[in-house]
Structure 1
């Protein structure tokens, strides 16, 4: 039976020769480490040549093991980015947390590390997926304090603040962490919306709702020890359900009209009330001035009367004459008539009418205002000589 040197078979149909296979494998190792391959008739490992080959194989195996050991030790080096942290585990137990830079740990399977991206902003959507039109009613429908139903869509942005808590107290994948944040967000937003009325949530209270929801989500995540920090909440859309949007629109319009009319009333009041107060203050000041004027005039008249009374007690006739003359002077000053004593002078009487009219217009403006058209004819009345007063007659 012939032997095939390439395949180690006896003939073409016989079973493989195991000795020949071992010899070929040994020859390949010898050639790899610089030894001389043995011939088929030479027993493996016998004679001086076989011993040298065995020593060469032992040395080569040592080199291979050394190289493999270096490669195994080099596999413990790892690099951490500036925005990352690495958690080192030894047989699954926490050892340390390393920052940015080049680090070394014991190679696998003794130790391993997990790199966590701290500054990477992750987001989770509540009430929609991708587009605001893709609504999820089981997430977006919420009940307010006044028993109204609204639809709210929000996006929660978060990052990692503790790599240790994120690895050991959280789920193992980012999808699990996203589910945790999503559940906390749903719980928080429903609680915040349930504490407020529908008008507050729909109109002026969006910022307050977002701030309260952020604080509540962060509290829940801290209680879980998740190592997650909520950075921002964006409320994309808040509106009533589609079936009652028309009624809500009418209610909102009515509220806006109420606010508009209230503002108009306040503006009108702010315009009228100051004017009324100013007018009242002016009337009070005028009344106070009139009061002071009347009091001063009365006090002056009383003082003058006292003075006249004192003088009258000293010289009654002279005082009466003086009072009579003053009264007549006051009366005649406002008169446009000229009185002439016919017995005083029997000659020709010259009357300068122009001068008299000018003097009358200057001394009597009240009469001129009542009678703006003054005739050039001045009536002249000739009266008899006034008899002397009784006091004068007695004095003579």
Structure 2
């Protein structure tokens, strides 16, 4: 820009002899107009909105795209990423982060992670808070340095939540409950302070005991995991054997019920048949007796190998029975 101004000054001096002062004024005016035209337009990214201030007073919000404003500092447009998920890291810092409030300062890393649990044990807790800007106006004007305020809120809430639990819950089984409770409390404080921030997720990262007792704690943790493993194996065997035994028991019971019903039905059928036979026998005893006699002979006679029929009315013929003939031979 300065080179361009000097070039125009030189041209005007050559064009206006003896009018160097006047030429400088003209050049300055042209430069001012050019700078004003250059600063009159601005572009808002697709994941952001711009908050426009006129003489420092809030004017409006503008959507993504190319826009124009009054130049020379009359209107000031501040871009706020409302569709981008932001994050803050506690106890560590991702290399290459652009946000100065994203990660812990080197001198604050140890202090942020050192916490005392409810059973008066120490733990080193690292976590991440993911959030979005939900209200750009509140984010810019209601709280001074909202990102830094969010770090203080997050640290305060996490110390409170960790302080309500034992060290075993914090390191092993209570991680999900801690994340859920911390998310709820952080969002409540953000709303109370009108920070214009929406908390999306709180995620615990590394949770370790202090360095002097870390080796002993790892041994205890391994023993706890081995215990859980044995319990799970026992439950697996239980779930495998017990249902099989229950099934066999039910099968035996059903078989016994079926056999019982079969015998009861057979007995009831025999009773009904005998009752019917008795009723017929009572009507004609002689006929029924003869019919039973004949039916019995029909069942018995086919099983005999030889048959001897004697007529009781024959008196003059000597009955003869060859007892020496082998069974099954022709006489």
Do the aligned partners of 2:154 and 2:186 also contact (CA within 8 Å) in 1? yes
| Alignment CA distance shift 1:287-1:105 (3 Å) | same
1:209-358 to 2 correspondences below 5 Å: 209-238=178-207, 242=214, 243-312=216-285, 315=286, 323=292, 327=296, 330=299, 339=308
Rounded to whole Å, the distance in 1 between the matches of 2:71 and 2:263 is: 107
The residue aligned with 2:72 is 107
Q: Secondary structure of the residue that 1:267 maps to in structure 2?
A: helix
5+ residue gaps in structure 2?
1-11, 96-105
The residue aligned with 2:128 is 155
Rounded to whole Å, the distance in 2 between the matches of 1:259 and 1:156 is: 34
5+ residue gaps in structure 1?
1-29, 37-55, 354-376, 381-396
The residue aligned with 1:127 is 91
Do the aligned partners of 1:80 and 1:115 also contact (CA within 8 Å) in 2? no
Rounded to whole Å, the distance in 2 between the matches of 1:209 and 1:143 is: 14
Do the aligned partners of 1:338 and 1:378 also contact (CA within 8 Å) in 2? no
Structure 1 position 85, deviation (Å): 3.3
Matched, 1:378 2:316: no
Rounded to whole Å, the distance in 2 between the matches of 1:105 and 1:80 is: 14
Q: Deviations over 1:26-55 (max 9, x none)?
A: xxxx9778445xxxxxxxxxxxxxxxxxxx
Rounded to whole Å, the distance in 1 between the matches of 2:120 and 2:293 is: 95
Rounded to whole Å, the distance in 2 between the matches of 1:148 and 1:280 is: 57
Greater Cα shift, 293-302 or 151-160? 151-160
Q: Deviations over 1:157-209 (max 9, x none)?
A: 3343333222223445xxx71x3333333344445556777777666765565
Q: Secondary structure of the residue that 2:284 maps to in structure 1?
A: helix
TM superposition score normalised by structure 1: 0.58
Calculate the aligned-residue CA RMSD, in Å.
4.5
Matched, 1:66 2:29: yes
Rounded to whole Å, the distance in 1 between the matches of 2:297 and 2:182 is: 97
| Alignment CA distance shift 1:273-1:59 (3 Å) | same
| Alignment CA distance shift 1:32-1:245 (3 Å) | same
| Alignment CA distance shift 1:69-1:139 (3 Å) | closer
Q: Secondary structure of the residue that 1:254 maps to in structure 2?
A: helix
TM superposition score normalised by structure 2: 0.68
The number of residues matched between the two structures is: 298
Structure 1 position 148, deviation (Å): 7.2
Structure 1 position 273, deviation (Å): 0.9
Rounded to whole Å, the distance in 2 between the matches of 1:152 and 1:81 is: 38
| Alignment CA distance shift 1:329-1:58 (3 Å) | closer
Greater Cα shift, 332-341 or 96-105? 332-341
The residue aligned with 1:16 is none
Rounded to whole Å, the distance in 2 between the matches of 1:143 and 1:321 is: 106
Structure 1 position 124, deviation (Å): 1.7
Rounded to whole Å, the distance in 2 between the matches of 1:147 and 1:273 is: 48
Rounded to whole Å, the distance in 2 between the matches of 1:89 and 1:321 is: 126
Rounded to whole Å, the distance in 2 between the matches of 1:320 and 1:71 is: 138
Rounded to whole Å, the distance in 2 between the matches of 1:66 and 1:137 is: 57
Q: Deviations over 1:204-262 (max 9, x none)?
A: 76556545544443332232222333344443334566242322322232133223212
Do the aligned partners of 2:118 and 2:166 also contact (CA within 8 Å) in 1? yes
Q: Deviations over 1:313-367 (max 9, x none)?
A: xx4xx6556555655665555556755759977699899x9xxxxxxxxxxxxxx
Rounded to whole Å, the distance in 1 between the matches of 2:244 and 2:264 is: 31
